[in-house]
Structure 1
Amino acid sequence: MTRYGYAAMNTTLREESVRTNRGMREATFEERGLPYAGELAEKNCSDLRRIVEWNLDHDIYFYRITSDLLPWYSRYSLGDLPNAATVREELEAVGELATVNDVRLTFHPNHFVKLASPDESVVDNAVGDLENHGALMDAMGLSRTPYNAINVHIGAHYGDKEATGERFCGNLDRLSESVRSRLTVENDDKESLWSVPELVETVADEAGIPVTYDELHHQFTSRGLTRREAARLAADTWKTTPIIHYSESRRLYETDSTTRPQNHSDYVRGPILTYGTGADVMIEAKMKERAVLRYRERNDVNSKSDTPGDDARGT
């Protein structure tokens, strides 16, 4: 049964100052150090629990956690925080909620995480960032499977796609089991970058990493495949319930010709299809949980399977 989720901010709770991305400038971190970082981390993790509880109250069982949960996390380990025990307690509480209620929690590290970069320092930073995500998932007690995905993009081709793909797969050996077991890779939104069939051939077939199908992105990298064909091709790389990302272009809703067609709309009309894959759907819309609730209400779906609709080519 399809679950519809959203990412990071809960706009309803944000009005009550509930958020999970409290941070600080580098100068503040240098001045106030780990005690202040720990204070912010504790508040973020406590509010993460509140968001998951709110989601449960509204029958939302799929949620993407912000990668900004721990401020300046690249500069320390979780155990270095003065209040590490309390932060861990909050993370464990989130994980227990997820486990008991079968809530799917995932991460999507930002575009600076470039595991295929030819620059060794960039790869070092990417590995460190990914390991931090894995450590947070382990602290929550989440499964070491793509069910609790850490989803990334290859992010570039560096003038030689074949060599870039080989670097990406080669650098997987630098990742711990905590990360590699959860890693997934997503198709891009630029014609020159990575499509679903390229990721399947280069990453899934070679290294066993599942491919996350993004429907809007596919329109820019279709390689002649229909949406159904691409979604099913990606889904076949999963050994657990696949994930589909669904968003709609803001251009569908406004007349500003300067708006990039890749920009996400506030809400989505659908219909959202999973093409018989049984995938969970991450709705990437600016209005977050409100977009999920409106879509479910208007389409009379709540953890149901596909709504019938067109299988147009993603061109």
Structure 2
Amino acid sequence: MTIIRFGYVAMSMELENCSPSQTMTFSQFSKLKDRDAAIRKLERIAASNLENCLRLLKHNTANEIHFFRLSSRLIPLAGHEELLGWKYLKALKEPLENIKQYLSEHPMRVDFHPDHFVLLNSTKAEILQNSVKTLSIHLALLKGMGIPPEHRCVLHVGGAYDDKEKALEQFIHNWSLIPTSIQNTVMLENDDTTFTLNDTLYLCEKLGIPLVFDLHHHLANHGDEENWHDEWERVVKTWEISSLPIKIHISSPRSEKDFRAHADYIDPEMVDTFCQKIKGTVGEIYCMIEAKQKDAALFQLAKDLQDNPHFEQIDGSSFYIR
């Protein structure tokens, strides 16, 4: 029997004043004449983000949610070329330690989805270097929060640069230039415009990277590979190298006209259809809900599935698939 556990992304629609993504632009930073005071302000914003992150983790525990995506904007301007000497981890040791302590007492699966400008298949050395630097920041945060860093950062393959086959080979070339510690954090996801499930599987199988299957992206971008379940066994196999159970993404189109955009909530029929195709193929699967209504979408989906005979509820966010 397969267990499916649902999670949500970064923010809560229920908790007020709890953004983990408060920010300061470099333009705002530059307008403050006292650089030390400006850095202290950055640190206060980052500390507030981490405190709100801890509130979100407590919210998850209270609602029996075992899967959560951390914001990649916890530390504003981390890694900016004008702030390379900023020792933000030292300044934020206490709020990071508080999260570490909480997760040790209330374990849950948490990970990141770094921003779209992380391009590991870029032909430009500067872009690749900045991408590795961004992933290094994520790795440092994972370690600071006591989270094992293995397979915690979901990435898209990158840009096609007018030649998709060449872009795939560029990823393979660049991969050899990336430190092993960074490689070990990475998962790859099929995207909604360029790199299909089979494209992404090609890289994952060749390089030993787990594949995060995104059903919505596949529906929007599948080329001649319409039946994703024909490749499901290959997807599952990419996770054999990981200590973590397989994870996927699910979202619903906002509309037929705006198909690639995420809807507010999740279509329960889409979830049911997917689950009936994969039940019994894995013991446990983690499903990240990408919906505009965040945790409210998770709660609504759980409510929608309660009376579905294909599901047996275990707790607030987990079900057996029948």
TM-score (ref. length: structure 1): 0.86
Q: What are the Cα deviations for residues 263-287 of structure 1, in whole angstroms up to 9, with x where unaligned?
A: 1110112242341333200010100
Structure-2 residue corresponding to 1:184: 187
Q: In 1, distance between residues paired with 2:113 and 2:84? A: 20
- Among residues 5, 8, 18, which one is paired with 2:7 in the alignment? 5
Q: What are the Cα deviations for residues 218-272 of structure 1, in whole angstroms up to 9, with x where unaligned?
A: 11333324232344432220133111100000116xxxx4xx2101110112242
Q: In 2, distance between residues paired with 1:100 and 1:165? A: 42
Structure 1 residue 24 displacement after superposition: 1.3
2:151 counterpart of 1:151: no
Structure-2 residue corresponding to 1:114: 119
Q: In 2, distance between residues paired with 1:30 and 1:231? A: 50
Structure-1 residue corresponding to 2:207: 207
Q: 1:210 to 1:77 in 2, by over 3 A?
A: farther
Structure 1 residue 143 displacement after superposition: 1.2
Q: In 2, distance between residues paired with 1:305 and 1:228? A: 20
Q: In 2, distance between residues paired with 1:119 and 1:102? A: 40
Structure-2 residue corresponding to 1:22: 22
After superposing on structure 2, the runs of 4+ consecutive aligned residues of structure 1 that deviate more than 3 Å are 76-79, 173-178
2:254 counterpart of 1:250: yes
Q: More deviation in 84-93 or 235-244?
A: 84-93
Q: Which amino acid aligns with 2:52?
A: D
Q: What are the Cα deviations for residues 76-128 of structure 1, in whole angstroms up to 9, with x where unaligned?
A: 469613xx446222223223333433311110011111111112211111111
Q: In 2, distance between residues paired with 1:96 and 1:174? A: 34
Structure-2 residue corresponding to 1:310: none
Q: In 2, distance between residues paired with 1:185 and 1:220? A: 17
Helix, strand or coil at the partner of 2:68: strand
Higher relative contact order (Cα pairs below 8 Å, separated by 6+ residues) = 2
Q: Which runs of 5+ in 1 are unaligned?
A: 308-315
2:228 counterpart of 1:227: yes
Kindly indicate whether the alpha-carbon contact (under 8 Å) linking 1:99 and 1:142 is maintained by their aligned counterparts in 2: no
Q: In 1, distance between residues paired with 2:245 and 2:230? A: 17
Q: In 2, distance between residues paired with 1:9 and 1:194? A: 28
1:45-124 matches, within 5 Å, as 45-75=50-80, 76=83, 80-81=87-88, 84-85=89-90, 87-124=92-129
**What percent identity do the matched residue pairs reach?**
26
Q: In 1, distance between residues paired with 2:216 and 2:21? A: 26
Q: In 2, distance between residues paired with 1:102 and 1:232? A: 29
Kindly indicate whether the alpha-carbon contact (under 8 Å) linking 1:22 and 1:44 is maintained by their aligned counterparts in 2: yes
Helix, strand or coil at the partner of 2:204: helix
Q: Which amino acid aligns with 1:172?
A: W
Structure 1 residue 155 displacement after superposition: 2.3
Structure-1 residue corresponding to 2:309: none
Q: Which amino acid aligns with 1:152?
A: L
Kindly indicate whether the alpha-carbon contact (under 8 Å) linking 2:190 and 2:200 is maintained by their aligned counterparts in 1: yes
Structure-2 residue corresponding to 1:280: 286
Structure-1 residue corresponding to 2:170: 167
- Among residues 39, 43, 47, which one is paired with 1:34 in the alignment? 39
Structure 1 residue 199 displacement after superposition: 1.3
Kindly indicate whether the alpha-carbon contact (under 8 Å) linking 1:150 and 1:179 is maintained by their aligned counterparts in 2: no
Structure 1 residue 169 displacement after superposition: 2.4
Q: In 2, distance between residues paired with 1:69 and 1:94? A: 13
Q: In 2, distance between residues paired with 1:227 and 1:288? A: 26
Structure-1 residue corresponding to 2:261: 263
Q: In 2, distance between residues paired with 1:86 and 1:80? A: 7
2:132 counterpart of 1:127: yes
**Count of equivalent residues:** 292
Structure-1 residue corresponding to 2:147: 142
Kindly indicate whether the alpha-carbon contact (under 8 Å) linking 2:157 and 2:200 is maintained by their aligned counterparts in 1: no
Structure-2 residue corresponding to 1:313: none
Helix, strand or coil at the partner of 1:268: coil
Kindly indicate whether the alpha-carbon contact (under 8 Å) linking 2:96 and 2:144 is maintained by their aligned counterparts in 1: yes
